[in-house]
């Protein structure tokens, strides 16, 4: 099991192995950072060039003509993303960025009234979400220090769903939580949490940045009120690619908190009336003009998920991380690593190794041809991605890490992160 020959046998049996050829792999590099930025696929490159060409050949007529008319692009890409989050095609739109979408959704669903004024989040969430929620509280005239409730972690790695539900008190007006924790990779039980919030009539939404394209979702059936996500991690949409959001159809007709021209009904948008006639579905939550060239590669990237299906992606992801965990336990037991992610199937698409020398270790890995991801204060994240990483990649990664630790190669580096970690 621990030999390279075994890894190659696993690759020979892998039905998704052929998709590695769909991507531009870095020369002599093992890429284990797909949970921060996915690699470019040939299909994403093709659709980017196609959209660029439509501008070149059609000019302004590209809004309504060509293979992917720009005027309807956010809706059509949203339809392609809908199966990945378990939403209907009218509940998902490709628009904005992660944080602007959270601002839109918080502005819509955070409706403080009487003593019901607080927002419930957690202490392990990605900072950008917390910044946005504090901003929304301040805009409503509330002190974020008093009105943002952050559920504590019992161990600094994971969240307990029962602790979150216990914090759903009568003064909570909105709940925003991560689907997958960005450090530890823990998957929260979104169905359980949505049910509890629904029973208490508290709107609940999820940040899917580290879950979309890595795990299966059923947001509509679970009763989640809203969700938002980026497309440049597991979806491989490219740096800064347009994000997405989900709004459950039970809220259709609710006036968006932040209005913008592209939230209008398509048929009346160009009437130029100063009274907005909003779309009757999730399209109402758009604010600005679609970022066409940043949406373009997402179209091709999503083709791969349509072809493979998220179920098979998830199955291979679990196999890859299972194999990596087994190798780590075999090869690195003498080097003071702590496995900081769930070891069962409640983990997302990456492994977290904790070590006091994490920043130096990441630099040494990079020098040795492995691209990891450092997360302060002591985390090495490794993400073997189902569509372009192999079992042999996993084997080589652990062997390189073992040599780095055995020979203390990390000691020549400063134990400090780079400007971008």
Which residues are documented as binding site for pyridoxal 5'-phosphate? 98-99, 126-129, 207, 210, 232, 261, 289
CA distances from 284 to 69, 275, 393 (A): 19, 14, 44
Question: Which residues belong to the annotated binding site?
Answer: 98-99, 126-129, 207, 210, 232, 261, 289
List the one residue out of 196, 195, 227 whose CA is nearest residue 210.
Answer: 227
The 3-class secondary structure across the chain, one letter per residue, is: CCCHHHHHHHHHHCCCHHHHHHECCCCCCEECECCCCCCCEHHHHHHHHHHHHHHHHHHHHHHCCCCCCHHHHHHHHHHHHHHHHCCCCCCEEECCCHHHHHHHHHHHHCCCECCECEEEEECCCCHHHHHHHHHHHHHCCCCHHHHEEEECCCCCCCCCHHHHHHCCCCCEEEEEEECECCCCCEECCHHHHHHHHHHCCCCEEEECCCCCCCCCCCHHHHCCCEEEECCCCCCCCCCCCCCEEEECHHHCCCCCCCCCHHHECCCCHHHCCCCCCECCCHHHHCCCCCCHHHHHHHHHHHHHHHHHCHHHHHHHHHHHHHHHHHHHHHHCCCCCCEECCCCCCCECCCEEEECCCHHHHHHHHHHCCEECEEECCCEEEEECCCCCCCHHHHHHHHHHHHHHHHCCHHHHCCCCCCCCC
Q: Which two tokens stand for residue 77?
A: 């890409």
Buried b (16+ CB within 10 A) or exposed e, 283-295: bbbbbeebbbebb
Q: Which two tokens stand for residue 264?
A: 């209008």
- For residues 298 and 77, is the Cβ–Cβ distance under 8 A? yes
């Amino acid at each position: 099991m621990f030999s390279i020959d075994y890894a190659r046998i696993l690759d020979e049996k892998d039905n998704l192995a052929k998709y590695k050829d769909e991507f531009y792999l870095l020369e002599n590099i093992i890429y284990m950072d797909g949970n921060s930025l996915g690699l470019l696929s040939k299909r994403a490159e093709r659709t980017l060039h196609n959209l660029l060409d439509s501008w070149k050949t059609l000019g302004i007529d590209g809004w309504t003509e060509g293979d992917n008319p720009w005027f309807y692009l956010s809706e059509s890409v949203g339809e392609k993303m809908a199966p990945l989050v378990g939403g209907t095609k009218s509940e998902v739109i490709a628009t904005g960025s992660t944080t602007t979408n959270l601002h839109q959704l918080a502005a819509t669903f955070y409706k403080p009234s009487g003593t019901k004024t607080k927002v419930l989040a957690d202490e392990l969430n990605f900072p950008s979400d917390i910044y946005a929620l504090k901003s929304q509280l301040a805009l409503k005239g509330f002190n974020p220090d008093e009105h943002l409730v952050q559920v504590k972690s019992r161990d600094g790695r994971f969240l307990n769903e029962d602790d979150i539900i216990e914090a759903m008190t009568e003064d909570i007006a909105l709940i925003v939580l991560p689907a997958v924790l960005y450090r530890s990779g823990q998957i929260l039980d979104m169905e359980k949490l949505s049910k509890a919030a629904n029973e208490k009539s508290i709107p609940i939404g999820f940040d899917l940045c580290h879950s979309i394209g890595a795990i299966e979702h059923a947001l509509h059936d679970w009763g989640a009120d809203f969700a938002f996500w980026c497309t440049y991690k597991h979806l491989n949409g490219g740096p800064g690619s347009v994000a997405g959001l989900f709004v459950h159809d039970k809220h259709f007709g609710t006036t968006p908190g932040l209005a913008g021209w592209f939230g209008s009904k398509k048929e009346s948008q160009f009437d130029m009336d100063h009274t907005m006639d909003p779309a009757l579905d999730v399209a109402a939550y758009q604010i600005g003009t679609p970022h066409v060239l940043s949406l373009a590669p997402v179209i091709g990237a999503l083709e791969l998920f349509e072809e493979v299906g998220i179920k098979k992606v998830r199955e291979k992801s679990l196999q890859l991380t299972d194999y990596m965990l087994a190798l780590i336990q075999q090869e690195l037991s003498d080097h003071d690593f702590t496995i900081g992610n769930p070891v069962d199937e409640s983990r997302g698409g990456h492994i977290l190794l904790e070590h006091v020398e994490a920043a130096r270790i990441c630099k040494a890995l990079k020098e040795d041809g492995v691209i990891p991801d450092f997360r302060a204060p002591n985390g090495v994240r490794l993400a073997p991605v189902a569509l372009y990483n192999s079992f042999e990649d996993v084997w080589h990664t652990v062997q390189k890490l073992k040599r780095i630790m055995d020979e203390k190669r990390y000691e020549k580096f400063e134990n400090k992160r780079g400007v971008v970690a």
